[in-house]
Amino acid sequence: MVPLKRVALVTGASRGIGKAIALRLGQVSDITVVGSSTTESGAKSITQYLQMAGIEGQGIVLDIGEPDSIEEALAEMTKTAGIPAMLINNAGITSDNLFLRMNIEEWSKVIDTNLTGTYRLIHACIRSMIKQRFGRIVNLSSVVGVTGNSGQANYAASKAGIIGLSKSLGRELASRGITVNVVAPGFIDTDMTRTLSEEQQAKLLEQIPMGRMGQPEEVAHMVAFLVSSEAAYITGETFHVNGGMYMN
């Protein structure tokens, strides 16, 4: 029998979009939130902000680029919260460089973390979802996964791969009550974009019909919809949250 409270695992939840997702899902009465960070301090900060918001949940240490870390984190979750019925793959890295100058280490690290790490975590969680005949998987891609971006061949390839992976899994898992969808944010107002110069930000805004950056909460609302019962008949889709920067 499916438990009354389902566990949602949100990776990369110490700040930015991941934090907004964890807080938004925590507002749903039947969800226990577990947020991950690659560091102990990050995991503690997740536990603290969840507690301050009155949300049932905790932070854990998890590095999606390390198979052992995934195994250890899921073992801890099973003991303290439960096996994930909802998985939000938000964690990722960048290592930007023009392709001509990009070495194999820069390429491999981004692909292995963003794409292979997503594969590893889904693969580790999927059996329990199949057994329960319920699962919600939401993978975070990016606008550059569909448009490309100079200096980000590795990142764009990893995010495009996530879209292809999600479509394939959507077909494979639909009959088991599991949905797999993608949310592809555009330029969102986070710590990373705030480090850009005024000139760089102005150039970005010229590409966005709405004339502003998105808020992390606007991405989080889309994720919350996709894990809800209202989205039970949606799978294999990519939802673009980018202010009109890319229209499919």
* 3 state DSSP class of 35: strand
Q: Active-site residue 155, yes or no?
A: yes
State how far the Cα of 118 lies from the Cα of 124, in Å rounded to an integer. 10
For residue 193 the two structure tokens come to 């974009």
For residue 247 the two structure tokens come to 């229209």
Amino acid present at 142? S
* 3 state DSSP class of 95: coil
State how far the Cα of 231 lies from the Cα of 223, in Å rounded to an integer. 10
- Listed as own residue / partner, the contacts of 159-163 with beta carbons closer than 8 Å and 24 or more positions apart are 159/92, 159/114, 159/184, 161/111, 161/114, 161/115, 162/89, 162/114, 162/115, 162/118, 163/238
Among the listed residues 49, 119, 155, 233, the single catalytic one is 155
Catalytic machinery residues: 155
